[in-house]
Amino acid sequence: MTQINMTNHAIRRTAIVTGAARGIGAGVARRLARDGLAVAVVDLVEEDCAGTVDAITRDGGTAAAFAADVNDESAVTAAVARIAAELGAPTVLINNAGIGGPNAGVEETSTQQWDAVTGVSLRGAFFLTRAVTPYMLAAGWGRIVNMSSISALGDSGRVDYAAAKAGLIGFTKSLALRLGQHGVTANAIGPGFVVSDMTRVGAQRRGRSFEEHQRIVAQTIPVRRVGQPEDIAHTASYLVSPEAGFVSGQVIYVAGGPVD
């Protein structure tokens, strides 16, 4: 197998970031582009990715938008093939795409909601990883980062979301065990409260303005502030770097304090 020395920063790597039209995904995509990676900005609608792509290219980076429903196997396969042809073989994958349904206990969660939430976060991560792994194996190098959540530790009001995010942790550790000998690492990030469309919806459900909601939540966080997409992006940047080659199978909670 041909080995590529990825400690040479002159080599342009290609990263795929899913759910990158906004929020955490957009923040991660912009950071990886600043780190010198060519970034495939993937979301459900290609036009929605324009803001992220434009921000990257204005800063002198390389990025292109790609549409894919990550819960659709054939769409993922086609998107990854197109990314490899247009940007180069992907050796960095950020499985960030995810959705959250309404707060509901297990007795109130419909089958359709369960399938939708777990399908995007967990099934989608499987499809992307399976499609990208051959490129990493061919290169003898790769980085996989799965976006979990502190909800993976349990969330009585979002059993579907918690299950999907917990599943990603098991998936991550299994990938680390399987792929490590090939120069591929796999890690998970577990964000706490981060400013995003999802947390904005959470404020609306509680009848609060988003600003008030952030102030209330911040008082429960040891560092006394809420997270920003950039906080997650900093961690992702390290995990996909050549310097993180001895870090694999880990879950890093980026939550402003310890989590149980």
| DSSP code for 89 | -
**Which of 92-103 are b and which e, b meaning 16 or more Cβ less than 10 Å from the residue's Cβ?**
bbbbbbbbbbee
The amino acid present at 189, given as its one-letter code, is I
- Find, among 105, 91, 98, 104, the residue nearest to 123 by Cα: 98
Distance of CA 117 to the CA centre of its chain: 15
Which residue out of 135, 161, 238, 253 is catalytically annotated?
161
Q: Per-residue DSSP letters for 165-225?
A: HHHHHHHHHHHHHHHGGGTEEEEEEEE-SB-SHHHHHHHHHTT--HHHHHHHHHTTSTTSS
161 tagged catalytic: yes
Kindly list the catalytic residues.
Answer: 161
